Each structure stands twice: as structure tokens, then as C-alpha cells.
Amino acid sequence: MIESSTLQKYSLFGGLLKDQIDQIRPMMELETYGSGDTIMVEGTANDRIRFILDGRVAVIKKGFTLAEIGEGNFFGEMEVLDVMPSVATIKALVNTTVMAISNRGLRKIYKADATIFSLIIMNLARDLSRRLRRMDEHFTVSDLERKPQG
């Protein structure tokens, strides 16, 4: 199992103390994937947030690669939060190791310590907000470049 001090460096665990991470580590699972393995399939059920400890994955929607993400990034949060099918396929580009927290694991964290749960959810919300800002900036700049100013 990965050390709690290592997990502290990831944004999902920002603000958590080592002993708090020690408390919730049993509620997480380490998963490994080989290069080319499919981790999630667009349109299917997913009940896990996964964050990348090592490796790189492709985010694919309708056959098009939208992004490549690596260490410190997470995926699967949308399906956990809104309980809908996966919005994209995730494939390992290289050997990849992730730590996963299932819906069941999140419930256990909530029951064990609401403060820890709140910090994780707040960190998740902050990261999602950062992603939305980047997407907004990307599309706004692209739109401005295409449209004449008037």
C-alpha cells in the first residue's frame, strides 16, 4: 500500500494530516493497468474516483482523444457525483497505477469522519472548478480568435 505521506502531495488529499489519511487508506484500493488497458468505457456504469499515482491515460469520447492526463490527476468523479454512466473511455497509455475510492468507500469515510469526507469533497470541487476555468478559457480564446471583433 502507498504511504500516507505520499498521498498528502495530491490535491484530492490537500489539507489532510498523515493520521487522517492513515484512517481512510483502508477504504481505498490500489489498481494497476498495463499499457493499452481500458479502465473505463464510455456509457457504462462507474462507481469510483481514480487518481493517478504513476502513468498516463487518454480520455476518449466518441473515438476522439480529448486529453492525456498523468500523475496527480483524477478521473471518474463525474459518475460518482451524479450517478450517471461514464462520459468518456479511459485507456492506459503506459503502465499505470491508480488509487481508487468507490462510492461505498466514500460512504465509509463519511461515517468514520465527516471532517475528512468534507475536505475530500471540497478538494474535489476545487479541482473540478479549476478544470472548468481552463475549459472556459480555452473555448473563449478559441471563439475570440474565430470571430471578428465589432
Model confidence over 7-35: pLDDT tens digits?
888 888 888 999 999 999 899 999 999 99
User: Contact 96/72 with Cβ under 8 angstroms?
Assistant: no
85: Cα within 13 Å, side-chain hemisphere: 7
User: pLDDT tens for residues 48-69?
Assistant: 989 899 999 999 999 999 889 9
Confidence at residue 14, expressed as pLDDT on a 0 to 100 scale: 85
User: Contact 120/126 with Cβ under 8 angstroms?
Assistant: no
CATH code for the domain defined by 4-146: 2.60.120.10
Rg of the Cα trace of the chain? 17
Confidence at residue 141, expressed as pLDDT on a 0 to 100 scale: 57
